[in-house]
Amino acid sequence: MNFAKSFTPMLILIFTFFPPSSPDPNDQSCLSNLFQSIQDPNHNLINWTKPNFANPCSGFLSYLTGATCNNGRIYKLSLPNFSLHGSISPYISNCTNLQSLDLSNNSLTGSIPNELQYLVNLAVLKLSSNRLSGVIPPSLAMCAYLNVIDLHDNVLTGPIPAQLGSLVRLSVFDVSNNKLSGPIPGSLGNRTGNLPRFNASGYLGNKDLYGYPLGPMKSKGLSVVAIVGIGLGSGLLSLMLSFTVVCVWLRVTDQKMVAEQEGKITQLMPEY
């Protein structure tokens, strides 16, 4: 009795400083749903298994390839170069402590989940070299700690959301080689001093994107072919016009000459 009484505060103390790592249901939901939404034809994710999902973190270690833990929570997911197919599950947002998500250089399809906005600690987002389609979610601007947004080499469409300009920590922004269109938002394209906030290289390879640091909007409808066509057409037309004018002029002068000659002839003819 006495022993228990004196031991209880110590236990409380111990559990306060060294809590037993109990698996987090949000991380379990995040990882198992992500695993369901992707296909892994090369079997890189061999230890992404049910028992390992049940306790994805034990201290700093994770039993799952590509997952890194901190304080019993997943804080980094790094699965590049794995030839993964399928899509990014919206349940990824349940990994609420995630700071870094790297799924680059796979074959992922589908859209960038709008739910990424709930990852309020996200600092690094690398989804480059996949086949992701749809728009860049404007709600990404809710992830205030974002440092890196790397989305190059996908098939993303639509405009670059101006809201992303509010991400003050953003130091890498690469959306090159997509199908984005419209003006580069001033908040992302503007200069700090004489230099662009992000190099043009981060915007290149999008046919219909324009504005600083890229060139101005291309004049609509007047392609090179159209300009050449108009040039040739008007050239031909003026040629035909001048030809007609010359013909008419020749005919007129010819008739005049004939008339004059006839006059001369009648004049020369002796009167009988």
Binding site for ligand NAG (CB under 6 A): 25-26, 29, 46-47, 63, 65, 80-81, 83, 90-91, 93-94, 105, 115, 165, 186-187, 190-191, 199
Buried b (16+ CB within 10 A) or exposed e, 145-168: ebbbbbbbbbebeebbbbbbbebe
How near is the Cβ of 158 to ligand NAG at its closest, in Å? 20
Task: State which residue, 10 or 101, has the beta carbon closest to ligand NAG.
Answer: 101
Cα separation, 137 vs 131, in Å, equals 16
> Of 152 and 209, which CB lies nearer to ligand NAG in the complex structure?
152
**Closest separation between CB of residue 40 and ligand NAG, Å?**
11
Q: How far is the CB of 155 from ligand NAG (least distance, A)?
A: 17
Q: Rounded to an integer, what is the distance from CA 41 to the centroid of its chain?
A: 26
Cβ-based nearer residue to ligand NAG, 176 or 206 = 176
Closer to ligand NAG by Cβ: residue 79 or 156:
79
Q: How far is 21 from 109, CA to CA, in rounded Å?
A: 35
Nearer to ligand NAG, 186 or 263 (CB): 186
Half-sphere exposure (Cβ direction) of 88: Cα atoms closer than 13 Å: 28
User: Residue 172: phi, psi to the nearest 5?
Assistant: -125, 125
Cβ atoms within 10 A of the Cβ of 170, count? 18
Min dist. Cβ of residue 167 to ligand NAG (A): 11
State the nearest-atom distance from the C-beta of 15 to ligand NAG, in Å: 24
